[in-house]
Structure 1
Amino acid sequence: MNDASIPILLADDDTGFCELLGEYLRGQGFAVTAVHDGQAAIAAVERGGHAALVLDVMMPKADGFQVLEKLRASHRIPVVMLTARGEDVDRIVGLELGADDYVAKPCNPRELAARLRAVLRRTQLAGAELAPLRCGDLELQPASRGVRVDGRAVDLTGAEFDVLRVLVEQAGEIVNKEELSKRALNRRLGSFDRSIDMHISRLRQKLGPHGDGSARLRSVRNRGYLYARPG
Structure 2
Amino acid sequence: MSIGHAAEIALGGMCAWRLPVDATCASVSRSLLAIALTDLRLEREAIDDITLAASELVTNALNHGLRPDPLRLSVPPELWLWARVTPSPQLVVSVFDACRDSFPDTTPRELLDEHGKGLGIVGILAAAWGAHRSRSRLGAGHPGKAVWCAFPLNAPWPNPNLTAPPVLAAQHLAATLAAQGIRNVQHRQGRGVSLVTVPTSCTEINVWVEPAHLTCTTSDGSRIRRPMADLHDIAEHLVSSCEN
- Superposed pair shares fold, TM > 0.5: no
Structure scoring higher RCO (CA < 8 A, sep ≥ 6) equals 2
Task: Give the TM-score normalised by the residue count of structure 1.
Answer: 0.32
When the two structures are superposed, what TM-score results if normalisation uses the length of structure 2? Answer: 0.31
Bigger fraction of residues in helix: 1
